[in-house]
Amino acid sequence: MDYQGLLHEVMAEALRGHGRGRVADYIPALAVADPTAFGMAIATVDGEVYGAGDWEQPFSIQSVSKLFSLALALAEGGEQLWQGVGREPSGNPYNSLVQLESESGIPRNPFINAGAIVVTDRLLELTGNAGTAVRDFLRAESRNETLDIDESVAASEALHGHRNAALAHFIASYGNLRNPVDSVLLHYYAHCALAASCRDMALAGLFLARHGIRADGSRLLTRSEAKRVNAVLLTCGTYDAAGQFAFRVGLPGKSGVGGGILAVLPGRGAVCVWSPPLDATGNSVLGVAALDALTTATGWSVF
């Protein structure tokens, strides 16, 4: 397979859509992202990595981090995580509060902000530091020791995070947080504020393509747990656009408001694409277009 040629073909196809979407501007640290930046990387199950465009430039991974906090919380604490968070699509925006009251403080799934806050709380309880737990996992899988939390992004999130604070306090009012709200939020902002490149993220996502096996050959998740994480990625990883993403791309994937999307090609590899302008659901416009072009050209899909 000529992965390099394929990436250039897919990138050219996606870039035809340039000019659509808007860069996230809810915090100044994200609003300064270059709207013309575009990178894409594929890592194969045997650890080879290919890239195109700005594939080695770090970007703010934001909600893509939620896939790693979920995997680590499951690895450390097991199935009891699911007592505090569901696994149904919410059909609502990622930062919505509306379902939490009628569903008694149990968030619909681990990828909407409410669910990710519960997962961060459990990971904090299990490891003592959810932010560095995710960082260290990404460092190990990508073999990039310089990968780190961008403290200015984390501080900016905390300053403007009224909605996340509201979600966390509301969840706490139902007894579904085990750590103090302020501490959970700081750890949530920390893992969202990790800066990593498409190269790093594609390598870090490989454990899901390898059915739970890490880069060093050790097992993070059982095969069944890895299948379940992939299933929740497919149904909830791109929020209320998950149906459209499954329709166009046909792969489990997780997006972030920094413009990154990490998708899993089970048994084959992982692909990360980055382009900052977002659609109304918070997903990268060109990122989805590139993954659509990739799976259309290759037939790679879970279907």
Q: Does 257 bind ligand DON (CB under 6 A)?
A: yes
CB count in 10 Å sphere of residue 102: 6
Q: What is the smallest separation between the CB atom of 220 and ligand DON, expressed in angstroms?
A: 23
Given the rule CB under 6 A, which of 72-80, 174-182, 254-262, 293-301 is the region that contacts ligand DON?
A: 254-262
Report d(CA 194, CA 198) in Å as an integer: 13
Q: What is the smallest separation between the CB atom of 236 and ligand DON, expressed in angstroms?
A: 11
Structure letter (DSSP) for residue 184: H
As beta bridge partners, residue 219 has 213
Helices and strands of the chain, counted as H and E runs: 14, 8
Q: Which amino acid is at 196?
A: A
Q: Does 96 bind ligand DON (CB under 6 A)?
A: no
Cβ–Cβ under 8 Å, residues 245 and 98: no
Given the rule CB under 6 A, which of 14-22, 39-47, 51-59, 251-259 is the region that contacts ligand DON?
A: 251-259
Q: Which amino acid is at 44?
A: T
Closer residue to ligand DON, CB minimum distance, 251 or 257 = 257
Closer residue to ligand DON, CB minimum distance, 194 or 265 = 194
Q: What is the smallest separation between the CB atom of 263 and ligand DON, expressed in angstroms?
A: 14
Closer residue to ligand DON, CB minimum distance, 192 or 208 = 192
Chain residues 191-210 in contact with ligand DON, contact rule CB under 6 A:
192
Tokens, residue 120:
């961060």
Q: Does 237 bind ligand DON (CB under 6 A)?
A: no
Cβ–Cβ under 8 Å, residues 278 and 259: yes
3-state secondary structure 116-174: HHHHHHHHHHHHCCHHHHHHHHHHHHHCCCCCEECHHHHHHHHHHCHHHHHHHHHHHHC
Closer residue to ligand DON, CB minimum distance, 7 or 251 = 251
Q: Does 164 bind ligand DON (CB under 6 A)?
A: yes
Q: Does 62 bind ligand DON (CB under 6 A)?
A: yes
Closer residue to ligand DON, CB minimum distance, 63 or 197 = 63
SS3 state of residue 91: coil
Cβ–Cβ under 8 Å, residues 194 and 139: no
Q: What is the smallest separation between the CB atom of 101 and ligand DON, expressed in angstroms?
A: 19
CA distances from 206 to 68, 70, 93, 209, 216 (A): 11, 15, 28, 5, 11
Among the listed residues 120, 156, 230, 255, the single contact to ligand DON using CB under 6 A: 255
Question: Hey, what's the torsion of the CAs at 21, 187, 204, 226, to 10 degrees?
Answer: -100
Closer residue to ligand DON, CB minimum distance, 50 or 111 = 111
Q: What is the smallest separation between the CB atom of 158 and ligand DON, expressed in angstroms?
A: 10
Q: Does 113 bind ligand DON (CB under 6 A)?
A: yes
Among the listed residues 121, 141, 150, 157, the single contact to ligand DON using CB under 6 A: 157
Q: What is the smallest separation between the CB atom of 270 and ligand DON, expressed in angstroms?
A: 18
Q: What is the smallest separation between the CB atom of 257 and ligand DON, expressed in angstroms?
A: 4
Binding site for ligand DON (CB under 6 A): 62-63, 94-95, 113, 157, 164, 192, 255-257, 282
